[in-house]
Structure 1
Amino acid sequence: MTEADDPANKMTTAWKFPDAPNTACFTTTEVLNGAPVVHVFHDYEGDWQFHGASGATASSSVKIVSLAYMIGSDDLLAPLHDLPYGWRAQWHAGAGNWERFKDHPFPSFAEHGYYLEDAIWLAQYLTDIQPPPAEVREQLAIGSYVKLVFRFAAEDGARADGQCERMWVLVTGIDEEEGWYTGSIENTPQHPAARYGDLIAFHPLHVADLAPQQA
């Protein structure tokens, strides 16, 4: 394939994905041979997967290409630029659009009236958010207090002042297999969608701060 044939060089619309065009993503031989993409996964760790109707995932069929390559090869993928982490999308041929499904246990605006911000992402823009190192966030003990950032707005909604609250959460459970936690809100929220004592699930990526351990 020549550079001129590379789908990444044929995109005619502005790049809207928050991930860089050269982000590595997973697809299959089936898709690269021309099968349409009907299943898209945006894993909670940020990885993208693009699969055809068969869903073939044998190790011999898995291929790694750039995100720009995939988007440039199929115009129907462009609307998925705002697919949140931990969500998947399935092409609905009859309706001619993508149906989206939450693929994780964490709060979402549609279900709870708020969601949890990715603290690692926020730290790029807010100097007063400095999350602990990954090895600390991934090894929290029950009884620890962590600070999470709650956003009381739609995941893809325009940002405005007053949408977010930073609150302490007490770690009450650990899902070691999946790598996330459960906890209870230890502040009284200003927004009515959440309450003191509410139980939530959260990921190490949500941890914006860790309270010092009491002696």
Structure 2
Amino acid sequence: MILIVFGTSRMMDCRQCRSLRLSKKRNRSNMDMSEDWPFKDATNTATFASRYIFKGEPICRAYHDWDDGSWQFHPDRNPEQSDIMVVCLEAVFKLDPTVGELNDLPPGWKAERTNSHAAWVRSKHHPYPVFKDDGFYLDDATTYAEFCKIPDAKNREGIKTGQLVQLIFRFADEWSERHDNDCERMWVEVLEVNDDYRDYRGRLLNQPHLHAAINEGDELCFHPVHVFAIDA
């Protein structure tokens, strides 16, 4: 069943889709998935899609949202909130199996193409560092929770201006094999809290030991998911 969400005609990008969120947790059920299913997310994952793609327009824009991992699929037109439907991810894949090529698109990235036969062109859709542009990116600190004690989500999301946080900087391509000395843990002073997007702007307080892509005093944006430690 397709659930249609009615709204205003205000133009909507991937961040504005938050107003339609059903849940902030990714829907990854224990349901059986075919070996041909390309995504890590379950087939019944709630997904935002333009009604126009179900009327025959090709899927030309895809977004993997940063904050909660939601997927969005649109034709080559700017979506309005009233055009957005909530469907199962499987429904989009059945409509156009080429979206399966985006199964490894990281959260916070988008992919675009001119038509359904063209190659996808990927680019970041967030304010955080990426290796291609900055020479480093910030590791998802929550992936270390199995091995290290990291601050809980409430504390990571409640950081105030002036506090010091430790981030993990990885000086390698996001998709590359990991090696020793790829990463450095460094402290950052929080300069600004962005309440609209629930993220932070900070200043690096350390000079990297092994890498020159960023220097002490440089500023960067980061998300609560990047916070590995908080100075007491």
Question: Partners of 2:76 and 2:221 in 1: how far apart?
Answer: 32
| Cα distance, 1:94 vs structure 2 | 9.9
Cα deviation, residue 101, structure 1: 2.5
CA distance in 1, matches of 2:119, 2:33: 22
Alpha carbons 1:114, 1:150 under 8 Å: kept: yes
Query: Shift in Å at residue 87 of structure 1?
Result: 1.7
Give the TM-score normalised by the residue count of structure 1.
0.81
**Counterpart of 1:200 in structure 2: which amino acid?**
L
1:112 maps to 134
Partner of residue 175, structure 1: 194
Shift of 1:42: 1.2
- Which residue does the alignment assign to 1:192? 212
Which of these residues, 183, 203, 217, is aligned with residue 164 of structure 1?
183
2:54 corresponds in structure 1 to 32
Aligned partner of 2:101 in structure 1 is: 79
Asked if residue 96 in structure 1 is aligned to residue 115 in structure 2, the reply is no
The answer for the alignment partner of 1:4 in structure 2 is: none
- Residues 29/92 of structure 1: CA separation in 2 closer, same or farther (3 Å cut): closer
Shift in CA distance, 184/44, structure 1 to aligned 2, threshold 3 Å: same
What corresponds to 1:5 in structure 2?
A: none
Structure 1, residues 73-132: CA drift from partner, whole Å, max 9, x if none?
312212212222222111134982112232221111011111011222342xx411x332
How far apart are 1:200 and its partner, in Å? 0.9
**1:32-64 Cα deviation digits (max 9, x unpaired):** 3332211111111111111123344333x3222
Deviant stretches of 4+, over 4 Å:
9-12
Question: How many aligned residue pairs are there?
Answer: 200
TM-score, with length taken from structure 2: 0.76
**Post-superposition offset of 1:197:** 2.0
Q: Which residue matches 1:54?
A: 77
Q: How far is 1:11 from its partner? A: 7.0
Structure 2 residue identity aligned to 1:134: A
